[in-house]
Amino acid sequence: MSELEKEIEAPNFWNDSSAAQKTMKVVSNLREQVESWHKFQSHLRDLIELTRLNDESLGDELQAEVAALEKDLDKRSFNAMLSGPYDDDDALLAIHAGAGGTDSQDWAAMLERMYLRWADARGFRTEILDRTDGEEAGLKSVTIAIDGKYAFGYLRSEKGVHRLVRLSPFDAAHRRHTSFALVEILPQVAMDDADIEINPNDLKIDVFRSSGAGGQNVQKNATAIRLTHIPTGIVVTCQNERSQLQNRENALRVLRARLLEIKRAEKDQEIAVLRGEYTKAEWGSQIRSYVLHPYQMVKDHRTEYETGNTQAVLDGGLDALMEAYLRQNA
């Protein structure tokens, strides 16, 4: 910490603005953590002083204070597990409806609502960057920016295929259907992150009119952006903003995140192959099942954690599922 502060005070510190901003972010996070622990230490000292008074009338107050301190310490212990290179960063969440037509598109919309509610409960800011509606109901795909402390660290537990089993509201015979949706979680990458460089010559940029529900919602001007990264074949579209420039910036955010994910995946594969552990991740191996019929249950197949309160989970109550996964993989 002291070494970094000396580095900031150097006269040539801002010569490299990109490196300077990264250093400032690290220092800011460290200062926040140190200040937080100082407050915890002060709270603990005050509590010790109160116990030394041997005042029986303070019994209930002391019990409440101890419980609050234990809860705070447990949270700090858990946050210490979120020590990955991007765990404390913002996240990009993408949902894609799987095979199954309207049922899967409706399931994708249910997942969108679930994650938006989870983010709202945590006080995170959300922004829908791109959304393609389904023909009859639901959505085909959606990309959401989620900004908040440890957003990526928590949400990385959600990456994979999610399965829903229920009586279909779109089936005249009201039969049981199984639907699938793929959830992608990507760390948001700063535009000046040196780890990801995008050559403008590698981009094909198409401009088109945003699709909408019709009437006043249809854009008269071409503001939607489609970016194609020629070397990788990655295609990103953004059409939620009325400004072509804003859509282009959002598309670049998503592209940079996808390129970083490829880079990270390649590195993970290399390590796994060296260890003799590499298994190709393929569509169809669901990480979690949400069963609404013939019984009520949400089960994570990686941790074996399950709950019968399906409605609470679909309303955004994901913390227990996330923490079970993160503790297992700490």
CB 197 within 8 A of CB 260: no
Give residue 171's pLDDT: 85
Q: What does 74-142 look like in DSSP terms, one character per residue?
A: HHHHHHTT--STTTTS-EEEEEEE-SSTHHHHHHHHHHHHHHHHHHHHTT-EEEEEEEEE-SSSSEEEE
Single-letter code of the amino acid located at 5: E
173 contact partners, CB below 8 Å, separation of at least 6: none
pLDDT by residue (tens digit) across 27-42?
777 787 788 888 888 8
CB atoms < 10 A from the CB of 273, how many?
10
- Is this prediction's pTM over 0.75? yes
Give residue 317's pLDDT: 97
Residues 114 and 248 grouped into a single domain: no
Which residue range(s) make up the domain with 311? Answer: 91-188+301-328
Question: 288 in a domain, yes or no?
Answer: no
Give residue 116's pLDDT: 98
Give residue 215's pLDDT: 38
Query: Which of 79, 100, 123 lies at the terminal end of a domain, its last residue?
Result: 79
What parts of the chain have a pLDDT lower than 50? 213-219, 278-282
Residues 72 and 113 grouped into a single domain: no
Total domain count for the chain? 3
- Return the CATH number at 261: 3.30.160.20
pLDDT by residue (tens digit) across 107-150?
999 999 999 999 999 999 999 999 999 988 999 999 999 999 89
